[in-house]
Amino acid sequence: LKDKPPHYKIRLSGTVKSPKISFDPPFVVLMPVPLDVKTEAVISITPQDYLRQSRLQVTLPELELEDGDRICPLTVQFTEGQDIVLSSDGTNKELLCHISFRSSRPLSFLRNIFFTDEEQN
């Protein structure tokens, strides 16, 4: 044994988990309302596999009206902040988001709202 030192073979395996978020409900339909009246929906955002704190950014759609004016009738508010925080048990805390619509002009549309983290995921 002294002439031939022992060799150890170690095998490592693992999985790469990309951070992601899920929404409940997965899509929102806001009720028709009279002009200049706000309608609102609350969604729950569940971050998964975030290993460090991150912050969600929101990109709202801008609409072009028939006369060429551009408006953004949607607003988003996070009731308890928009930071993704890792809790002591290794899970990420759920975030609540209020999406609201108000317009002084009649309109109907179907658009996406984009939620991204600091790394553009």
- Per residue in 59-109, pLDDT tens? 999 999 888 899 999 999 999 899 998 877 878 889 999 999 999 999 889
Q: Is the pLDDT of residue 1 over 60?
A: no
Q: For residue range 7-48, what is the model confidence (pLDDT) as tens digits? A: 778 888 888 778 889 999 999 999 999 999 999 999 999 998
Contact in structure between 74 and 60 (CB atoms under 8 Å): yes
Q: Is the pLDDT of residue 2 over 70?
A: no
Q: Which among 94, 78, 74 has a CA at the least distance from the CA of 28? A: 74
Reported pTM:
0.77
